[in-house]
Structure 1
Amino acid sequence: MSKEDFNRLSIQKKTQKLYTEGTFVVAIRYYTHKVNLYLLGNEYIEVFYNHKQDRIDKIDFLNHRHSRMKFYLDQISLSEI
């Protein structure tokens, strides 16, 4: 599945695909969200869960240039990203 096809899916379909075909890597806290990082094929995908509102706010491909990377790099090796 291409990135474009994945991005066109609803949040429910993205969630289902990650839970059935993806591999959970790590979870971090980021402001008001718990962010779960998954590996789907050769792409890392973040799931932003808002625990106060009990909902997933966003599912998106990992931006390797984002400052959030420092939280992941403390928990996984550079060779995995």
Structure 2
Amino acid sequence: MSREDFKTLTLQKKIQKLYIDGTFVVAIRYYTHKVNLYLLGNEYVEVFYNHKQDRIDKIDFLNREHTRMKFYLDQINLKIES
């Protein structure tokens, strides 16, 4: 499944796709969210869970330029693509 196809899925379908085909990598705390990182094919996907409201707010591909990367890099070694 391409990035574009994944982005067009509903939130429920994204959850289902990650549950069936994704591999959980790590969870971090980021402000009001618990962010679960999954590997889906060759792409990393973040799931933003708002524990105070008991809901998933967002599912999106990992932005490797975001400052949030430092939290992941402290725990795991992500492949850096050139």
Query: Shorter-chain TM-score category?
Result: over 0.9
How does the TM-score come out when normalised to structure 1?
0.95
1:35 match: 35
Q: Which has the higher helix share?
A: 1
1:45 match: 45
Q: Distance in 2 between matches of 1:74 and 1:17?
A: 27
Query: Deviation per CA, 1:14-41, whole angstroms, max 9, x where unpaired?
Result: 0010011000000000000000000000
1:61 match: 61
Q: Distance in 1 between matches of 2:42 and 2:80?
A: 10
| Aligned alpha-carbon RMSD (Å) | 1.3
Q: CA deviation at 1:78?
A: 4.1
Q: Distance in 1 between matches of 2:6 and 2:33?
A: 22
Identity of aligned residues (%): 80
Structure 2 residue ranges without an equivalent (≥5): none
Q: CA deviation at 1:79?
A: 3.6
Aligned length: 81
1:19 match: 19
Name segments (4+ residues, structure 1) moved above 3 Å.
Answer: 78-81
How does the TM-score come out when normalised to structure 2?
0.94
